[in-house]
Chain A
Amino acid sequence: MSKTNLTRRGLLRSGAVAGAGVALPTIFTGSSVAAFTNEPTGSTVTLGFNVPQTGPYADEGADELRAYELAVEHLNGGGDGGMMNTFSSKALNGSGILGKKVQYVTGDTQTKSDAARASAKSMIEKDGAVMITGGSSSGVAVAVQALCQEAGVIFMAGLTHSNDTTGKDKRANGFRHFFNSYMSGAALAPILAKNYGTDRKAYHLTADYNWGYTTEEAIRNSTEAMGWETVAAVKTPLTQTDFSSYIAPVLQSGADVLVLNHYGGNMVNSLTNAVQFGLREKVVNGKNFEIVVPLYSRLMAKGAGANVKGIYGSTNWHWSLQDEGTKAFVKSFGTKYGFPPSQAAHTCYAQALLYADAVQRAGSFNPCAVAEALEGFEFDGMGNGKTLYRAEDHQCFKDVLVVRGKENPTSEFDLLEIVEITPVEQVTYDASIFGGQLGTCNPGA
């Protein structure tokens, strides 16, 4: 077994190779001196767009990427400028960011934390991206946000609705424009009370993962506060496609409202199943049976088709809003791609512009300077009315839309109608309620 074959030549040779291997990392000390990670030194600056191109949220990802491409075009002075014209801060002038032309790299998060981090890491280490943005799931957002904190770059979250992103797992280098579960609950509850009464019995079906939990909790808390009773809350696997077996017990439970804490394909399937079971025609406890979907998106409404008619939910933004920012954005997006943008596209576009504007105002790409410029920043003209980037948790506070599936849609994009614009005061909460610590900004290098 142990056969030693030592020759002088062999020993010399292997010794030299081993020595070279050991010495390699130490003989070079010439590391570049930069103030922060990936400081752009040339005439261009690279941004990293990390979106799901495959997997359950590929549709959202594709729309996000379209929005980013549009934002880059506008930042570099192309197109009609979109929301740059309506944005209350006028620091951007169409000459890129700080005079540097904006370039971008794309990556696929696959809606998996690991893949998303690998993709973000390669953008930072290989392509020299100074900011990472995108994503369509809270798990990915939280994972990539933590990575950006370590690496010392700014993370501008895309579509992520869980309370944790700017709650328990908030980071100093991460910023979120999208709203969260808590806000959905706070906005929806009064509308539900007004339309369905205050003595309802609710049955929750909850997607069995982080976002599902926080959404269920938020809806429960806010509906119970106004007098509803929660009969049961059942968790469904994320990979479930047939919800019949979960729908059947709903009627036996004596509940008269079904809350679907589902998103994307999950919601499309569970809602379709529920409608097929005739839930909406049932009368329980002398009241019409109702269904509620806390987080709505146009892409989901499209998937569920006619089943969404009359169903209430909340959304971050909708293209049919009539303010100047929305109109400008829908116009330039529609001109370029031929259809109106989704809320995922809107939040990503806004995030890209907000980042560029913060850099411009700070006069530096340094993450700490950018974070300082974003913290406590108040702006308008981005489609959501007056908005505040709160300094304590890097969460945007703005009005929340309560929407309802349209009874008579005029086109395949006109599926939701806005019921109420819940004012920001009603959805604001104390920054400390979710725990977590922001830490201090990390410029890397």
Chain B
Amino acid sequence: MFGLDKKDTMLLLLVAALTALAPFLLNPFPEGSAMAQFNAGYPDLMQRFVIFGIFAIGFNILFGLTGYLSFGHAAFLGVGSYAAVWMFKLLSMNVLPAIVLAVVMSGIFALLIGYVSLRRSGIYFSILTLAFAQMMFALAYSVLTPITGGETGLQLALDDPRILDGAVAANGNIPVPGLFGMEMRDSVQLELGAWVFTFNFGYYFSALVMLISFYIAIRIFRSPFGMMLRAIKANQQRLNYTGLNTRPYTLAAFVISGMYAGLAGALMASMDPLAGAERMFWTASGEVVLMTILGGVGTLIGPILGAGAIKYMENIISKINSDILHSWFAFLPDGLEDLLVTLVYPFIGKGWHLTLGIIFMLVVIFLPGGLVEGGQRIARLFKSKKTDRSAPKPQIEPGE
């Protein structure tokens, strides 16, 4: 289907089903129960899952295929956000022009930065991209304050022009981003017994965009262009010796992944019309590297899983405080309760980074292929029990 082979079609449909049913899947615990703490099915977080999924998919096109590790990808996320918010301020609260401008702007920035940075490879490339990103962060934070809003961030105001649809909404407030009359924050709630499921328009819009991005990524992975990128990862020197100029390929990959980041930035701004400079800080660039590695570098679905895992921890684990811990262990005798709380406390709340670090280390050491490899191992375990595997299909592998 859609020019994909059976396996890829299944993968695409699986991702589509997961995103469509996310409001159910992420809210497994009834409202008001002790476990409701772990529910992630509220609009903001679901939006983050898919938006960072897009960011990570794009990053994987560069890092997973060519092996070029960019440490400055958050810069394009920021560029996309600023471009989108400026579109909201100047033109219209419709998200489409914002997304288009964001993708174009981040593409231009990626072209410039990529043109310079891709003259080097390996660690030098990483450092160059990091330097550019930090430079852009510093500019956005102070010198370019009139354009970026500085530390406060760029936000909408009541006296913005908004040429197409007027500065002020009917209720006298700043209008909210939408798509032809549908507001991004529109939600309907479904109450089934003790469960409450929220279906948010912004989420489904982002999810649709993610599915399209995912589909494009699959096509790139399976195309001759993708094969060329893999060849660059496998042995760039050899490729050069055969008389091929690899730079146009790497530059194209860099620009494409920069545009993905810009798209993610635009969606972030569409869900929440504010763009802050921290979005470009180097830790944000590092986060997408973590997401990709945690999920599985060079795999299709890995980055989405990694993005989900990290955002889940950031938003759920970080909100558990000591009071909640005490209520969990309340059934235990006092001394034991306090002991358990003391033991668990460093890993929750503000200690979520520690938890993330440990999980990341475990994954890198025991599952070098990321969460995807974990899934494959489990699948293999079940398969080998059921039936003998049929002879493996001969596959074309790039030469090492």
Residues of chain A touching chain B, judged by Cβ–Cβ distance below 8 Å, are 1-6, 10-11, 13-14, 17-18, 20-21, 24-25, 28-32, 53-54, 58, 105-108, 112-115, 117-119, 121-122, 125-126, 138-139, 142-143, 146-147, 149-151, 162, 164, 169, 172, 208-211, 235, 237-238, 436-437, 439-440, 442
- The answer to whether A113 touches B20 (Cβ under 8 A) is no
Best-surrounded residue of B5, B19, B157, B318 (most CB of chain A within 10 A): B318
For B190, give its contact among A1, A6, A28, A169 (CB under 8 Å): A28
- The answer to whether A114 touches B187 (Cβ under 8 A) is no
Known: A125-B43, A440-B172. A143 touches B155 (CB 8 A): yes
B119 within 8 A of partner (CB): no
For B188, give its contact among A28, A54, A169, A442 (CB under 8 Å): A28
For B278, give its contact among A114, A169, A442 (CB under 8 Å): A114
Cβ contacts under 8 Å, A162 to chain B? 152
Report the Cα distance A172→B171, complex, angstroms.
12
Cβ contacts under 8 Å, A58 to chain B? 350
Kindly specify which of B9-17, B242-250, B290-298, B356-364 makes contact with the partner chain. B9-17
Extra 8 A-B pairs, beta carbons < 8 Å, given A118-B314, A121-B44:
A3-B3, A21-B21, A108-B349, A142-B155, A143-B155, A150-B173, A237-B142, A437-B158
Residues of chain B touching chain A, judged by Cβ–Cβ distance below 8 Å, are 1, 3-6, 9, 13, 16-17, 19-21, 39, 42-45, 48, 138, 141-142, 145, 150-153, 155-159, 171-174, 176, 185, 187-191, 198-199, 201, 204, 222-224, 272, 274, 276, 278-279, 314-315, 318-319, 321, 349-350
A/B pair count, beta carbons within 8 Å: 162
- The answer to whether B20 touches A28 (Cβ under 8 A) is no
Cβ contacts under 8 Å, B172 to chain A? 439-440
Report the Cα distance A67→B266, complex, angstroms.
38
- The answer to whether A107 touches B319 (Cβ under 8 A) is yes
- The answer to whether A143 touches B16 (Cβ under 8 A) is no
Of all chain B residues, which has the CB nearest A173?
B173
- The answer to whether A121 touches B155 (Cβ under 8 A) is no
Report the Cα distance A439→B167, complex, angstroms.
12
- The answer to whether A14 touches B142 (Cβ under 8 A) is no
Cβ contacts under 8 Å, B151 to chain A? 138-139, 209-211, 238
Best-surrounded residue of B3, B152, B174 (most CB of chain A within 10 A): B152
Cβ contacts under 8 Å, A10 to chain B? 1, 9
Best-surrounded residue of A20, A125, A209 (most CB of chain B within 10 A): A125
Cβ contacts under 8 Å, B157 to chain A? 169, 436-437
Known: A113-B278, A117-B272. A17 touches B155 (CB 8 A): no
Of all chain B residues, which has the CB nearest A20?
B20
For A112, give its contact among B5, B20, B278, B318 (CB under 8 Å): B278
Cβ contacts under 8 Å, A24 to chain B? 20-21, 199
Cβ contacts under 8 Å, B44 to chain A? 118, 121-122, 125-126
Known: A21-B17, A112-B276, A209-B151. A440 touches B141 (CB 8 A): no
- The answer to whether A113 touches B153 (Cβ under 8 A) is yes
State how many angstroms separate the Cβ of A16 from the closest Cβ of chain B. Answer: 10
State how many angstroms separate the Cβ of B365 from the closest Cβ of chain A. Answer: 26
Report the Cα distance A21→B9, complex, angstroms.
16
Report the Cα distance A17→B204, complex, angstroms.
15
Task: Return the 5 tightest CB-CB contacts between A and B, nearest first.
Answer: A21-B20, A209-B151, A440-B172, A2-B3, A113-B276
Of all chain B residues, which has the CB nearest A141?
B152
Of all chain B residues, which has the CB nearest A2?
B3
- The answer to whether B276 touches A114 (Cβ under 8 A) is yes
- The answer to whether A5 touches B39 (Cβ under 8 A) is no
- The answer to whether B319 touches A122 (Cβ under 8 A) is yes
Cβ contacts under 8 Å, A151 to chain B? 185
For A149, give its contact among B9, B142, B173, B201 (CB under 8 Å): B173
Of all chain B residues, which has the CB nearest A150?
B176
Cβ contacts under 8 Å, B279 to chain A? 114
Known: A30-B191, A31-B189. A17 touches B13 (CB 8 A): yes
